[in-house]
């Protein structure tokens, strides 16, 4: 199955960044929400709003990088026919966004769409871990997703979570993690870990630093 064009997503992100430079919409929203974030999210004492703005841009930009890396990783392992439908849903959150996020300003909408995509990838990874004890791909966006959830705000972020759970349930029922290639993939990475993949696709490791620092 062919993956949706990631270059189209990158072009959307670039256009949104340019628009935000002209309007400052994201900065105004961050300014309103920065003081209402959960106390566990520790912002730097200086330029906290700039740090949040930078976080949002990197969070959005990482989506096509993650999708491309997972697509290449699973294609080489011969399990892409089961994974591509999930990745295409993550792409469609950008290319054909649900009514839930339409009508919002461009970069703010992309934060919502990126949250949907990141949460879907997180959900799939979590379920794969539950199935076989290792992740589908060596990435952990949990902390970044918590911060994005706070920035989006409740109850809307909870609605996005429900949309992700619904999509994941349908897709994983239709495309379960099974077959000889999946078994070989699982055995290989249980055996030797992920160091080779992290060298080839550094974006997967980079997500460990995507979030703002949290106190233990």
The domain segmentation of the chain, as residue ranges, is: 6-209
Indicate whether this model's pTM tops 0.85: yes
Half-sphere exposure for 70 (CA within 13 Å, toward CB): 31
Q: What pLDDT is recorded for position 208?
A: 45
- H helix runs in the chain, sequence order: 6-23, 25-33, 48-76, 80-95, 106-132, 142-152, 156-174, 180-192, 195-200, 202-206
CA distance 203 to 66: 7
- For the stretch 139-193, pLDDT in tens is 888 888 998 998 898 899 999 999 999 999 998 899 888 899 999 999 999 998 9
Q: What pLDDT is recorded for position 63?
A: 94
Q: What pLDDT is recorded for position 78?
A: 93
Cα 89 to the center of its chain, rounded Å: 12
- Listed as ranges, residues in the chain with pLDDT below 70 are 1, 102-105, 206-216
């Amino acid at each position: 199955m062919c993956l949706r064009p990631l270059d189209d997503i990158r072009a959307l992100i670039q256009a949104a960044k340019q628009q935000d430079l002209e309007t400052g919409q994201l900065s105004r929203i961050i300014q309103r929400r920065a003081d209402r974030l959960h106390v566990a999210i520790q912002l730097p004492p200086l330029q906290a709003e700039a740090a949040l703005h930078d976080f949002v841009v990197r969070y959005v930009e990482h989506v096509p990088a993650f999708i491309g890396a997972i697509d290449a990783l699973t294609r080489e392992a011969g399990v892409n026919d089961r994974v591509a439908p999930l990745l295409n849903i993550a792409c469609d959150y950008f290319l054909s966004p649900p009514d839930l996020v339409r009508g919002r300003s461009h970069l703010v909408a992309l934060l919502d769409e990126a949250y949907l995509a990141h949460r879907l990838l997180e959900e799939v990874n979590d379920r794969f871990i539950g199935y076989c004890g290792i992740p589908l791909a060596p990435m952990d966006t949990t902390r970044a997703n918590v911060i994005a959830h706070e920035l989006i705000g409740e109850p809307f972020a909870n609605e996005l979570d429900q949309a992700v759970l619904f999509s994941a349930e349908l897709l994983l029922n239709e495309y379960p993690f099974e077959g000889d290639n999946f078994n070989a993939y699982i055995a290989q990475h249980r055996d030797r870990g992920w160091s080779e993949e992290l060298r080839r696709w550094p974006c997967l490791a980079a997500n460990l630093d995507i979030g703002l620092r949290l106190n233990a």
